[in-house]
Amino acid sequence: MALGIGCTARPGNSRNNKTGSWRVFYPVMDTEKCTKCGTCQLICPEGCINQNPDKTYSIDLDFCKGCGMCAEECPDKAKAITMIKEEK
Amino acid sequence: MTMEIMEGSIAIAETVRLCRPQVISAYPITPQTHIVEGLASIVADGRLDAEYICVESEFSALSACIGASAAGSRVYSATTSQGLALMAEVVFNSAGMRLPIVMGIANRAISAPLSIWNDQQDSIMMRDSGWIQLYAEDNQEAIDMHILAYKVCEDHNILLPAFVCFDGFILSHVYEPIDLPSQELVDSFLGPFNPYQKLDAKDPISFGMYATPEYYLEFRYEHDQAVKRAADAIKKYGKEFGEIFGRDYSELVVGYKLEDAETAIVAMGSICGTVKDAIDEMRAEGKKVGLLNLRCFRPFPSTDVAKALAHVNTIAVLDKNVSLGAKGAVAIEIKEACYGSNIPVYDYILGLGGRDVRKRDIKKIVELAEKGEGDMFYGLREEVL
Amino acid sequence: MRELRIHGRGGQGSVTAAELIATAAFTAGVYSQAFPAFGVERRGAPVQAFVRFSDEKIRLRSQIYEPDYIIVQDSTLIRDVNVFAGMSEGGIAIINTEKEGTYNLPKGVKLIVIDATKIALEEIGLPITNTTLMGAFAAASGEITLEALEGAIKERFDAKLADSNIAAAKRAYAMVKEGHV
């Protein structure tokens, strides 16, 4: 890799740092239970929850750090996200 | 002497407490933060009768120190890297006003590129500011030098501010045993601050005045003379320090296995510890290598350096800084000190921005110097160039 | 000189562990040095902390590349980091895990696996495993005594937290001593 003159970097560099490796718990989304309210996408501090064309949501595990905020904030009537411990 | 184990920054904060500053003003910045947090707690807990002035920048921190010092208080500040850069104007002003301020520098690299890690570019950047610059090898030296610095700076024959430099993270964040002196000993060495002159409404004076071309040159000459006189003051008070505390600071340059050395390494700061371990291993293999530890960079002890290195065949200077377009700042001084001796002086710029320096690097540098290869950045990762 | 490298994730108390181990070793009469691998102090990011032990004053300032001991606070790290790097014959590796995996262990390195998370959850009520693993380290290495470790924990934490952390450390110490790991 050549160094950019002027300590520059092209956009999108942070995508190369797959911070998902930091995770101890990972979220699993139950699309049956999901009411498509979008709270998880709003709350995710990593911005790694994305809406699919069918309005369901998927979680990009390359970048999810496993903080569990999505599971915590998923409304009581749905509770569609479960945190599972990573296999060691 | 009772040894205790604690983090370097906390040891420094506790030592500053023992020096009884009346005003502290500093702005937190990595890796200096634990020192000012420690001091803020010490003042808040009533363990030190001092005014802790919270400010919005390093520029203000040192400005507050100027006011407090000019008003006749013993003052302390600490900073690093960008903080020191932001202070620049006030650094020169405080020195020109001949105020005996002591400031800890947790040495860190300078932006850009942004780096929070250690090298010595920050204090070296202030080389020409007229502050005394001391460099600590370990945390014991860092705390001792704080006490010593007040003694030297406040001498009415000196009246200068001083940096006490210690490598950021490498010393500031390490837990290691230290002897924290007693209050009684520090009081007996330092005594209360006796200002040479101060701001006083009953007997008004102004500091840092305007100097016309008829006077400016002379002010600078006087300032330069004071910095040069500081060398003898450090030696005198360093000896006195040794008599009271049992650790001698009467030398501005300290040799390690240098007496019969053929190759001498010259270095400043915490890297000297790693160099000593490497020297022991090289000596075991029969290589005659020694170290000259530069404890004081300003004033620069040229004569002491020349004397200490007169017998060696090769000199390898380790510079944790670079004067871009020239050489490392230490190498430039060593070459000047050794001018006329015909001993080759090779410069190695290394450890910038936190690059770790290992014993094997030191051995490699000695090999390079003995082959006559030097004046280089050591340890470059060619694959990213 | 003996060297310990602690692998953990930001927030797991690896730096605290290094500091407490160094404190315990020093109070028991040897020179010690503890420091973090400075850098990305973010919760969850892989971090390292280092401890040196010596009968003489420690001058060396570089990081630790050939440790005599390692402590791995979180076995998920083994996926991303070569935690065994630089280890050799006679070394001791202490790994916190629920179930022992197959590790790429260098020849002659003694492996101790312990479910420190379970012990920490039961004794402290939190999955913070540093003090538990310190107990295991004391038993496996002999570099620090359990008494000195207790002293260091008491000095750092308030009474209630100290008691539960000491209980966790003692349990791990006993398990390693009795070979129940």
Task: Write the CB contacts of A47 (distance below 8 Å, at least 6 apart in sequence).
Answer: none
pLDDT score of C40: 62
**Cβ atoms within 10 Å of A14's Cβ, excluding its own:** 10
What share of chain B in percent tops pLDDT 90? 99
pLDDT score of C39: 66
Q: Who among A1, A2, A7 is closest to B113 (CB)?
A: A7
What share of chain B in percent tops pLDDT 70? 100
Homologous superfamily of the C2-177 domain (CATH)? Pyruvate-ferredoxin oxidoreductase, PFOR, domain III (3.40.920.10)
Chain C CB contacts of B277 under 8 Å are 59-60
Which CATH code is given to the segment(s) B253-384?
3.40.50.920
**What's the mean pLDDT in C21-26?**
97
**Shared fold status for B3-245 and B253-384:** yes
- Name the β-bridge partners of C5: C50, C70
Beta strands in chain C (DSSP E): 2-9, 31-36, 46-54, 69-72, 92-96, 110-114
Are B264 and B258 in contact, with CB atoms under 8 Å apart? yes
Which CATH code is given to the segment(s) B3-245?
3.40.50.970
Whether residue A88 has pLDDT greater than 70: no
CA gap B169, B166 in Å, rounded = 9
C103-151 pLDDT, tens digit each: 989 999 999 999 999 999 999 998 899 999 999 999 999 999 999 999 9
Question: CA dist B219 to B205, B222, B328, Å?
Answer: 17, 5, 29
CA gap A58, A41 in Å, rounded = 9
Residue type, A32: E
* DSSP 8-state code for residue B354: G
Residue B267 φ then ψ, to 5°: -150, 165
**What's the mean pLDDT in B318-331?**
98
Are B316 and B365 in contact, with CB atoms under 8 Å apart? yes
Chain B CB contacts of C48 under 8 Å are none
Q: Which C residues 6-25 touch A at CB under 8 Å?
A: 9
Q: Say whether C44 and A88 touch across the interface (CB within 8 A).
A: no
B336-369 pLDDT, tens digit each: 999 999 999 999 999 999 999 999 999 999 999 9
In the sheet that B175-179 helps form, which strands lie side by side, from edge to edge?
Answer: B3-7, B175-179, C31-36, C46-54, C2-9, C69-72, C92-96, C110-114
Task: Write the CB contacts of B100 (distance below 8 Å, at least 6 apart in sequence).
Answer: B69, B74, B150, B153, B154, B158, B159, B160, B161, B162
The terminus-to-terminus CA distance of chain A in angstroms comes to 33
pLDDT score of B13: 98
Give yes or no for C33 touching B (CB within 8 A).
yes
Are B124 and B225 in contact, with CB atoms under 8 Å apart? no
* Touching partners of C (3+ C-beta pairs < 8 Å): A, B
CA gap B127, B296 in Å, rounded = 12
Higher pLDDT, A18 or B119: B119
Higher pLDDT, B217 or A7: B217
Six token digits for residue B367: 């090999």
* DSSP 8-state code for residue C122: H
Residue with tokens 């705390």: B143
CA gap B122, B114 in Å, rounded = 13
**What's the mean pLDDT in B297-314?**
98
Whether residue A75 has pLDDT greater than 90: yes
Q: Who among C32, C59, C62 is closest to B5 (CB)?
A: C32
Beta strands in chain B (DSSP E): 3-7, 23-25, 51-53, 75-79, 102-107, 132-135, 162-167, 175-179, 253-256, 263-267, 289-294, 296-298, 314-319, 345-349, 376-377
Six token digits for residue B282: 């090289």
3-state secondary structure of B77: strand
Average pLDDT in chain C: 93
Q: Who among A1, A3, A7 is closest to B112 (CB)?
A: A7
Please tell me whether the peptide bond between B113 and the residue prior to it is cis, using omega within 30 degrees of 0: yes
Question: CA dist C29 to A39, B3, C140, Å?
Answer: 56, 10, 19
A17-38 pLDDT, tens digit each: 888 877 878 999 999 999 999 9
CA gap C78, C83 in Å, rounded = 6
3-state secondary structure of B330: helix
Predicted TM-score of the model (pTM): 0.94
Residue type, C121: L
Please tell me whether the peptide bond between B31 and the residue prior to it is cis, using omega within 30 degrees of 0: yes
CB pairs under 8 A between B and C: 65
- All structural domains of chain B with their residue ranges: 3-245, 253-384
**CA-atom Rg of chain C in angstroms:** 15
Map out the domains of chain A with their CATH numbers: 19-85 (3.30.70.20)
Q: Say whether C99 and A88 touch across the interface (CB within 8 A).
A: yes
Are C71 and C111 in contact, with CB atoms under 8 Å apart? no
